[in-house]
Structure 1
Amino acid sequence: MNVTLLTVGSLKERYWREAVAEYEKRLSAYCKFRLIEVKDEKTPDAIDSAASRRVRQKEGERLLEKIDARSLVVTLEIQGKKFDSEGFAAEMEKLEERSRGELCFVIGGSLGLSPEVSARAALHLSFSDFTFPHQLMRVLFLEQLYRSYRIRTGAPYHK
């Protein structure tokens, strides 16, 4: 199984990079994982809705360029479907069956995803009604992805 995590922006802080690297190492036992980052747009603190749409549009174009046409796409969005860990593990099994070996998860930038990226998704996934920084969301997602493989293989995992 090929699993791609496609994200807007890069991780600047060492502790985030180390956390992601740890989960990449752990995931290597279960899938061929790759992380792809696209450049984020500079976003002023005070931004109107038109400028916000332009930022999401530019970032969305970059994301869509990186999505393999064969990939089954899952976007991480506040409005998406919520699962507990066991439910996500079961959903991962279904996604892998539907994906023909190519799964792509997408995390947008600070303003979210463009409608075009969202429309490309087979599933919109939400981790919470809270908003998380995209750096933290990467780590949370990778932990749950790893946990889903542990659950599905019957391996112990921390509850």
Structure 2
Amino acid sequence: MLDILDEAEKLGVKRVEACHNFVSIHMARGLKVFYPSLIKCIGTSGPSLHTRLVKEIRTAVKEVGGVTILALEKMPLVKSVVYETLRMDPPVPFQTVKARKNIIISNHDASFLINKDDQVIFGYQTLAMKDCHVFKNAEKFNPDRFVGDGEKLLKYVY
């Protein structure tokens, strides 16, 4: 990222402007992948969720006087729906990396030693996010999963 900002400065683009453009482009690409999943999850959840979301959004926006970060902080259901959508349908489902040091990876049943530079580690996010040991009814979309005490589960959403 810093190389890109350095190059932008050499071309006469202000560093802050180049950073803004870089973030905006990548955010747009990410939303292009994520947005259809979000609409599908909300759309198939029915009018009860729609009504609750509308009420929460309108109340928060009215309370703070606009669509702001502060307003978003007052929308626990909206945040929960977004995280639950990310859990159900992660926009980047596969990751690979080569181990830079010896590490032990553990799950609920066993531990595995990965030797430095020995193996490629493959992660399938969709499977990890539907771990029934962590998430009750893991295969089912639950818009309230991360509301209240459910916020403790956010540490398992990658």
- The two structures have a TM-score, normalised by structure 2, of 0.25
Larger relative contact order (Cα-Cα within 8 Å, sequence gap ≥ 6): 1
More helix by share: 2
- The two structures have a TM-score, normalised by structure 1, of 0.25
Structure with max Cα Rg: 2
